[in-house]
Amino acid sequence: MIFPVKHEQRFKYCEEGEGDPIVLLHGLFGALSNFTKLIQHFSPKYSVAIPLLPLYELETEQTTVTGMVDYIDEFIEHKGYNKVHLIGNSLGGHIAQLYMLRKPEKVKTMTLTGSSGLFENSLGDTYPRKGDYEYVKKKTEGTFYDPKFATKELADEVFEIVNNRAKAIRIVLMAKSALRHNLREEVAKMNLPVCLIWGRGDTITPPLVAEEYHKLLPDSELNIIEKCGHAAMMERPEEFNLILERFLAKHV
């Protein structure tokens, strides 16, 4: 299913359903297709919004995690959301945490899945070689426990990005910005219910990262999904949705 993308002011986003707002923040290579089953599952009871992060549209000096937080701050104000259930995958989790620290009164719960912020094997360290499609395909497969999820369409998308000079520069800038904004000293200040959903086979933000978050966060629950990599909502959507549904039901 393809969900329509709305354009309002400078925002592009998908929004389905009615009810308490869920705001989902994607990672560096996020696409709406990654979240189809999550939208289908939760839109009957919630308003599910996925803002498309302007990873390639801002000036280079704004292409930082704090630049993305500014954008999300403006988006949530634009939508008039009061208390949101914030979900962040990978880089989106990093942005979610920084937003929560900035506007704690706006966030009801937070769910982190494969989130950066403490540690990640980032693209800033092993960036795909330009022009080497097989290398890009292999790196894309490494996102998942089962490489079949690294479809040709997904590998083509990543290949196009790394061979577009303007986009490639912004990806590197964003990855380096994430590494600079380590949140270890800030995590204990995140005093709200947090659901951690991690793939056992995540090699980008390994399960040890989730365990460290669980130790540092004042109010968190840890869920590990077996035979799953870095994108749990895409690779194990049924298990991911059940865990998230149980968590959200406790905090309506």
- State which residues form the domain around 17: 6-121+182-249
pLDDT digit string, tens, across residues 156-178: 888 888 888 888 888 888 888 88
Q: Are 3 and 39 in contact (CB under 8 A)?
A: yes
pLDDT higher at 49 or 28: 49
Q: Predicted confidence band at 120 (pLDDT cuts at 50, 70, 90)? A: low
**pLDDT, average across residues 82-105:** 96
Q: Is residue 152 part of a domain?
A: no
pLDDT at 155 (0 to 100): 85
Neighbours of 80 (CB within 10 A): 7
Give a yes or no: residue 60 inside a domain: yes
Average pLDDT over residues 119-140: 67
Closest CA to 114 of 182, 202, 31: 202
User: Mean pLDDT across the stretch 220-244?
Assistant: 96
Residue at 23 is within a domain: yes
Q: Average pLDDT, stretch 96-112?
A: 97
CATH number at residue 11: 3.40.50.1820
pLDDT band, very low/low/confident/very high, at 56 (cuts 50, 70, 90) = confident
Which residues lie closer than 8 Å to 219 by C-beta, 6 or more apart? 191, 192, 193, 194
Give the range among 56-60, 67-71, 113-117 with minimum mean pLDDT: 56-60
149 in any annotated domain: no
Instruction: Decide if 91 is inside a domain.
Output: yes
> CB neighbours (10 Å) of residue 220?
19
Residue 161 within any structural domain of the chain: no
Identify whether 151 is part of a domain. no
Spatial CB neighbours of 101, under 8 Å, sequence gap ≥ 6:
186, 189, 190
Q: Report whether 82 contacts 106 (CB < 8 A).
A: yes
Which residue did the predictor score with more confidence, 3 or 19? 19
Question: Given this model, what pLDDT does residue 163 score?
Answer: 87
63 belongs to a structural domain: yes
Q: How many domains does the chain have?
A: 1
Q: Are 209 and 223 in contact (CB under 8 A)?
A: no
